Amino acid sequence: MLDANRVRVLVEVAHAGSIAAAAERMSFTAPALSQQLAKLERELGCTLLERRQGGVRLTGAGRILLAYGERVMGDLRDAETAVRAAAGERPRRLSLGTFASAGKVLVPGALAAFARAHPDVRPALSDLEPPDGYGLVASGALDLLITHRYPGVQLPAAAGLRRERILVDPLMLVLPEGHPAARPGPVPLAEAAGDEWICGAPGVPNRVALETAAREAGVRVRVAYETRDYEVTLALIRAGVGVGLVPRTVLGACEPSGWSAHPVAAADPAAPPPAREVYLVHRRRPLAPVPEMASLLRLSAHRALDRGAGAAAAD
């Protein structure tokens, strides 16, 4: 049968993106992993990795084995924690993956409350932009993932995992002070047709969402500046560089001057307004503190939404 330790090497290499990086994480040297992978490939009689510039990429067979391997690693971790839990031991670590703006808006409050309730559990945070992170959850390297979906972007498959939507975060049209379209109530995207946009690079979810919404509104998008960072986006709007779409929860956490935020009037009034959905992802039998952290994050999400609504109404 396949050697589980070799499979683990493949999983780590896939997550790290290169043999060298995985070796670093596993406190081994690169040749050690290279040899184990070679044996795994010989054993299976097919190549699992394409050696290419700057690292490796999985072949089709490699991706199949990765999916199984992640499950196996996750189950091994679960096994250990289950046995230790039966012996009365409590987990002392909770690893959390989050995308950038949740890391600023949702996580700090939840983490503070969690730390008060569980001073003995050390939370570990890592930044992961969608669609990354699912494999880390499956393999148990991550206990809880906070991820999102923008309109027009497909949600990744989550085989064997639980995914829960904790927030529908409306995308607000943010205009500089004095913009002619600025007024209370929903604003059609078409009124920003003459403006330049500040958004992510092509392929970045918020860029896809903007292009999707613009297409539906029949507006052509001209991009003035590309950034993933909403604080930068707001600073640029404040400076009059252009306009942008920003999730409502982000607004409540930013300097509320120099711009005004408006609900987007959807082209089709029956359709829901464009919104970023925020999800939690974890394994089926999560560690004891995971559900608690999840409910703190839900709470944090609702508060952030309220704050954002306040920031938007302020204008």
Partner DNA sequence: AACGACGGATAAGCTCTGCTTATCTGCGGG
Partner DNA sequence: CCCGCAGATAAGCAGAGCTTATCCGTCGTT
Select 39 or 93, whichever has its Cβ closest to DNA.
39
CB of 88 to a copy of itself, least distance (A): 10
Segment contacting DNA (CB under 7 A): 45-53, 103-111, 161-169, 253-261?
Answer: 45-53
**Distance from C-alpha of 295 to C-alpha of 178, rounded to nearest angstrom:** 40
Sign of the Cα pseudo-torsion (82, 84, 125, 312, in order): positive
Among DNA, a copy of itself, none, what does residue 80 contact (CB within 5–8 Å per kind)? a copy of itself
The reply to whether 56 sits near DNA by the rule CB under 7 A is yes
Closest CA to 174 of 145, 204, 210, 212: 210
Among a copy of itself, DNA, none, what does residue 75 contact (CB within 5–8 Å per kind)? a copy of itself
Among a copy of itself, DNA, none, what does residue 1 contact (CB within 5–8 Å per kind)? a copy of itself
- Pick from 2, 21, 224, 267 the residue near DNA by CB under 7 A: 21
State residue 98 phi and psi, 5-degree precision: -150, 150
The reply to whether 257 sits near DNA by the rule CB under 7 A is no
Closest CA to 140 of 71, 84, 92, 91: 71
Q: How many CB atoms lie within 10 A of CB 1?
A: 4
The reply to whether 38 sits near DNA by the rule CB under 7 A is yes
User: Could you tell me the maximum CA-CA distance found in the chain, to the nearest angstrom?
Assistant: 69
Select 29 or 295, whichever has its Cβ closest to DNA.
29
Name residues contacting DNA, limited to 93-122 (CB under 7 A).
Answer: none
Amino acid occupying residue 53: Q
Select 44 or 299, whichever has its Cβ closest to a copy of itself.
44
**98 near 279, Cβ under 8 Å?**
no
Per CB under 8 A, residues contacting a copy of itself are 1-5, 7, 44-46, 60-61, 64-65, 68-69, 71-73, 75-80, 82-84, 86-87, 89
Closest CA to 125 of 111, 139, 109: 111
Q: Which residues pair with 57 in a beta bridge?
A: 50
